[in-house]
A and B are shown apart, each in its own frame.
Chain A
Amino acid sequence: SQTIHQWPATLVQPVGSPLSLECTVEGTSNPNLYWYRQAAGRGLQLLFYSVGIGQISSEVPQNLSASRPQDRQFILSSKKLLLSDSGFYLCAWSVQANTEAFFGQGTRLTVV
């Protein structure tokens, strides 16, 4: 069966520090991968999605970036965090084309 792992679960980082969140998927090949951010009491905002290794589409311009160095690995990064980067970050995967998405357990990031 397929599983998705996302870590860390909680992170407190100072303003201006770098960020690296990692997500891996097991049990499937060539998945679509997604990074979402969820602000308190608000819906999910799509940040990045990837349909293959090295292929990243950005939905929202910001100081975050994403990379997909391996088929089932998706990384969210920042060189310098802002206070506004605080939120709940979710990684998700779906089988290629027209199927439902499955989510990791999320990372709660607080920038102080």
Chain B
Amino acid sequence: QKEVEQDPGPLSVPEGAIVSLNCTYSNSAFQYFMWYRQYSRKGPELLMYTYSSGNKEDGRFTAQVDKSSKYISLFIRDSQPSDSATYLCAIMDNYGQNFVFGPGTRLSVLP
């Protein structure tokens, strides 16, 4: 089993839709959770960082973590064409040295 699995996509939604992106992980030692956005041919850009179960909101983005189910989600409200990118979940172990990334979900928001 892979350490981090992510909905493969690609995902196409109309502008204004609510988008849900999901990851599951296998190792309960993982304690820190991140979402990155990566535009084509660019480096990943940090969107959200959290270390606790529950929801964290930042503008149109909400990160949700359920440690009991080993499940993390990113919700995008009022999606925009500029949100079209690949979204990567990332998890850090409790030793604070190694990040494990999901394979990414490619999102297209159609105007």
Contact = CB atoms under 8 A, between A and B. Distances in A.
Interface of B: 4, 6, 31-32, 34, 36, 41-46, 49, 51, 88, 90, 92, 94, 96-104
A1 to B, nearest CB: 14
Contact of A100 (B42, B46, B88): B46
Contacts of A102: 46
Nearest to B46: A100
A101 B89 CA distance: 12
A106 B98 contact: no
B11 to A, nearest CB: 14
A34 B92 contact: no
B29 to A, nearest CB: 12
Nearest to A88: B41
A3 to B, nearest CB: 12
A43 B7 CA distance: 12
A89 to B, nearest CB: 10
A103 B98 contact: no
Contacts of A42: 103-104
A106 B43 contact: yes
Tell me whether chain B's interface is mostly helix, strand or loop, or mixed: strand
Contacts of A108: 41
Nearest to B94: A98
A60 interface: no
Interface-centre pick from B31, B51, B99 (highest chain A CB count, 10 A): B99
Contacts of B42: 105-106
Contacts of A13: none
Contact of A46 (B6, B46, B96, B99): B99
B43 A90 contact: yes
Contact of A44 (B32, B88, B94): B88
Given A97-B96, A100-B49, A43 B43 contact: no
Given A102-B46, A103-B45, A43 B88 contact: yes
